[in-house]
Amino acid sequence: MQFRKYLAELIATFGFVFLAAGSVLTNQFVESLLGNVGIALAHGLALMAMVFVFAGISGAHINPAVTIAMWSRSKIKTNDALGYIISQLIGSAIAAFCLWLIFPLEKILHLGGPALGINITFIGAILIEAVLTFFLALIVFEVSDKNSIGIAIGAFLAAAVLVAGPLTGAALNPARAFGPALISGFWKNHLVYWIGPVAGALLAGWIHSFIKKK
């Protein structure tokens, strides 16, 4: 039965990355049709929809940083955590490959993957990703109802992309960065999107556990 959970994570991550990165590409291809507001809404609504559909099957982590944080608090077994992360990365890569097939090469910029803005340092980018992922993961740990969590994390991600999209791309999720990087070959500053989100999510798990401890 674990295969169902892994498949759910793969499909959910595929859907999220396809829509999130796709919104960036659409904005490039149709000359700023969406703008940062439209891209932020696409990210938030895509995540919300995937959580609504798959939360009852796998928990809808859709994010290796969230999975690692859940594993660190013993909310998921090691084998399942590895299965989730592998599934998420595969889903992201398939989504990026599909986008590569859809959009003309001459218009593509990193296949919609996140990148650092002007004057944003490597350390600064890690801090931005860590702080934002901290709050995203805190919502995941606190809100148990799947309908509420879908709305909460979708709204927060939209706000995060609206504010930090021009700074780091506001990935808050290693899988969001991995697929586009793999297919496009653009790995510059890729560690930002692992170090920041994983550190932020781990801290959120620890803080939440400490606050809730009786």
Identify the CATH number of the domain in which residue 150 sits. Answer: 1.20.1080.10
* 18 vs 50: CA distance, rounded Å: 12
Residue position matching structure tokens 């969406």: 34
Q: Residue 25: is its pLDDT beyond 80?
A: yes
Band (1; pLDDT cuts 50, 70, 90):
low
Q: Residue 214: is its pLDDT beyond 60?
A: no
* 18 vs 93: CA distance, rounded Å: 10
Q: Find the domain containing 198 and state its range.
A: 2-212
Q: Residue 64: is its pLDDT beyond 70?
A: yes
Residue 42: predicted pLDDT: 96
Residue 208: its H or E element: helix 192-212
Using alpha carbons only, how large is the chain's radius of gyration in Å?
16
Closest C-alpha among 139, 122, 118, 117 to residue 200: 139
- The string of pLDDT tens digits covering residues 199-210 is 999 999 999 988
- The string of pLDDT tens digits covering residues 74-110 is 899 999 999 999 999 999 999 999 999 998 776 677 8
Q: Residue 192: is its pLDDT beyond 60?
A: yes
Helix, strand, or coil (residue 183): helix
Q: How many structural domains are present in the chain?
A: 1
Where helices occur in 73-173 by DSSP H, the ranges are 78-102, 122-142, 146-168
Q: Mean pLDDT in the chain?
A: 92
Residue 106: predicted pLDDT: 61
